[in-house]
Chain A
Amino acid sequence: MSSDLNELYQQLILDHNKSPRNFGKLEHATNHAEGYNPLCGDHFTVFVEMDGDVIKNVSFQGSGCAISKASASMMTTAVKGTKKEEAEKLFEKFHSVVTRDIHKEVDDLEDLGCLGALAGVAEFPARIKCASLAWHALHSALKSDGAVVSTEDAKLN
């Protein structure tokens, strides 16, 4: 098996795919938004419960491939308890890692914690949208306009 496949489908990702964390509807959600990829049918809803500026609780439900599901699951564990601003920063960081030029070294994966496991997605351009779908939905939920985000709108990646 090729090494980048091992990199993409590493144990942590397979585990989050099999047993997603924070999966299901959030009862006391203050905001939620849908993320949809019309090209492959991946469809998630991200729920957040805000306490002022803090993401007190977060969950997701829906269906998609292993990459999109694991990414959604890992995202919820990463942003739970963080400030909105921190979550947005993490998204920016995450986004820059999965869309990076693969010929360049990644210098500071450490800030990403377990999300760093998804860095291998950059080797698979067709799958970048899978990894970022839930993040776009979270971003929309935090803006609280709750608009459905499609991966095809404005060519989101």
Chain B
Amino acid sequence: MKPSVETIVKETGRNGEAVFDVARLREDFPILQQKVHGKPLVYLDNAATSQKPQVVIDALTKYYSSQNANIHRGVHALSELATYEYEKARGKVKLFLNAAESKEIIFVRGTTEGINLVAQSYGRKYIKAGDEIIISAMEHHSNIVPWQLLCEQTGGVLRVIPMNDDGELLMDEYEKLLNKKTKFVSVVYLSNSLGTINPIKQIIARAHQFGIPVLVDGAQSTPHIALDVQDLNCDFYAFSGHKVCGPTGIGVLYGKADLLESMPPYQGGGDMISSVTFEKTTYNALPYKFEAGTPNIADTIAFGVALDYVNNIGLKAISSYEHDLVTYATEKLSAIEGVRIIGTAKKKSSVISFIMGSIHAHDVGTIVDREGIAIRTGHHCTQPVMQRFGIPATARASFAFYNTMEEVDALAGALLKVKEIFGS
């Protein structure tokens, strides 16, 4: 019989340290067993999306095989069951984030929709002409464009916290940006293109001294860093299920209840109403006020299973193992002549972006792909970051807890082939 996930990480090694049994965890992911271009798949594009364990795939099948019904509206057994499972997933997210209440968990399609919801609902109500919104120089496009749209609509002004050559935010510049006109701060916790972990608690605490609410873009941090939204004291936190072993098309916006209560609905439709007449509609209570229409029921339930799976391994164990993995990969890649790592912050996690002399990232990507290795190449939806470093694109290896040191070796070997082909 297979040992449970708990026993894997709780067993101790010779020196008393926790053993992280990657080989055993990899068995949970059917996709990792396959070959690509005749070579064992080495999946190093986890910042784009994570792979899914069998339990998540099974949850989807189970839902459609035996639980499928619409929720919150039927009195029949299946509808009650589907509603129960859907709301149970909300409870799991509440625990995962350590939110104060379940009604603070809004299901959305992903991080992008979560940020757009806040920009359009909170933003259009509270941001006036001349008000300032602060983001950072390392934001993903989805934490830039929603605020630009809002600024166009309201006359608000976007301000940007700059960063240094290591890819660390300049906190004294942030201090200077905060002023009486600042009405909102929206910053990424972990950069998807540089791997930088931002001092998010400090950013939040400073903004709160000015009474300014803060949204944390948690798309990359959620799979890698243990989280407690009450401890962070963030006002909003958005993340995507598919980066945490869950299905695509489901994500979460966490918001403090009093803020969410004060905000108008984002979309209108079924489930978000209390009563409708042609003269007036009254809105449903939280969280339903923000969940118009039939939601993504199956993926939400499977997402809850994904969070259970990750929780069972434990984010502390995951962080610690991934730290070793990234440290090893950094050493290994830095040792290759011509490789330059972009993003050398002191506090980093899970992502290594790099360039190879004059060889374009796309050529690197194509060549390593033929070795069965999946990495991302391009601007990673962070064009301003590329502009900041004066480069068109990078190659990016991004790691998950199911990656191994041997896979790092395979990547290093493939990069030597790139050099061989280009004769450099």
Contacts and interface: CB of A to CB of B under 8 A. Distances in A.
A5 B363 contact: no
A65 B367 CA distance: 12
Contact of A63 (B366, B392, B417): B392
Interface in B23-52: 37
A127 B379 contact: no
B332 interface: no
A126 B366 contact: yes
B370 interface: yes
Interface string A26-46: 000000000000011111000
A66 B392 CA distance: 13
Interface string B361-385: 1110011001000000111000100
A66 B378 contact: no
Interface in B395-424: 417, 420-423
Nearest to B38: A2
Interface of B: 37, 359-363, 366-367, 370, 377-379, 383, 386, 392-393, 417, 420-423
A67 B421 CA distance: 13
Given A67-B363, A124-B366, A1 B377 contact: no
A124 B366 CA distance: 8
Contact of B378 (A5, A40, A67): A40
Give the 10 A-B residue pairs with the shortest CB-CB distance, closest first.
Answer: A65-B360, A65-B362, A41-B392, A66-B363, A2-B370, A40-B378, A9-B421, A65-B363, A5-B370, A41-B393
B363 A1 contact: no
Contacts of A127: 362, 366
Nearest to B386: A41
Given A1-B417, A1-B421, A40 B362 contact: yes
Contact of B360 (A64, A124, A126): A64
Nearest to A126: B366
Nearest to B422: A14
Interface of A: 1-2, 4-5, 8-9, 14, 39-43, 63-67, 124, 126-127, 130
A2 B37 contact: yes
A4 B420 CA distance: 15
Contact of A130 (B359, B362, B420): B362
A4 B386 CA distance: 31
Question: Residue among B363, B422, B423 with the most chain A CB within 10 A?
Answer: B363
A19 B90 CA distance: 58
B370 to A, nearest CB: 5
A40 B421 contact: no
Contacts of B366: 5, 8, 124, 126-127
A73 to B, nearest CB: 14
Given A9-B422, A42-B392, 11 more contacts: A1-B370, A1-B420, A5-B367, A8-B366, A14-B421, A40-B378, A40-B393, A41-B383, A41-B393, A126-B366, A127-B366
B40 to A, nearest CB: 15
A128 B44 CA distance: 24
A10 to B, nearest CB: 10
Contacts of B377: 40
Nearest to A41: B392
Nearest to A64: B360
A5 B422 CA distance: 12
Contacts of B421: 1, 5, 9, 14
Contacts of A66: 359-360, 363, 422
Question: Residue among A40, A43, A124 with the most chain B CB within 10 A?
Answer: A40
B267 to A, nearest CB: 27
